[in-house]
Amino acid sequence: MSELNIEEFHARVYEVIRMIPHGHVTTYGHIAKLIGMPRHSRHVGQALKWLPEGSDIPWHRVISSSGQISSRGPGTDGAQRQREWLEAEGVDVTVGVGGGTGRVSFREYGWFPDEVEFED
């Protein structure tokens, strides 16, 4: 796949995120890889950042490559909501001694297909 314009990039990101099964997670980097732009994981995060409130995109199923739920910035509750929504889907989110946002086991809950089929 060649370079995508911003609208195509966002559309592909959202399409892949909709494929993540209930009760599973994947990473920003894996989504970037699946859409053919493996060096653009930060852009995947930006695509999610601009989702409107109440969107049907299951953004909460996307976490960092360390298995950690990413902070959504100071004064926001996005990480807490993400943890709650994942737990509601049956995903075990481990919170360490110092608190933090939580970590998910890729071995148990990871979704990492080699490729996906896009609707064109």
Q: Is residue 47 part of a domain?
A: yes
Q: How many domains does the chain have?
A: 1
pLDDT for position 2? 55
Q: Is residue 115 part of a domain?
A: no
pLDDT for position 98? 63
Exposure string (b/e) for 54-65, b if CB count within 10 Å is 16 or more?
eeebbbbbbbbe
Q: What is the pLDDT of residues 36-88, one digit of tens each?
A: 999 999 999 999 988 888 899 999 999 999 999 987 666 677 788 899 999 99
Q: Is residue 67 part of a domain?
A: yes
CATH number at residue 64: 1.10.10.10
HSE at residue 47, side-chain half, CA atoms within 13 A, is 26
Q: What is the pLDDT of residues 94-117, one digit of tens each?
A: 987 666 689 999 999 999 999 999
Which residues are CB-contacts of 107 (< 8 A; sequence separation ≥ 6)?
none
Q: Is residue 117 part of a domain?
A: no
pLDDT tops 50 at residue 1: no
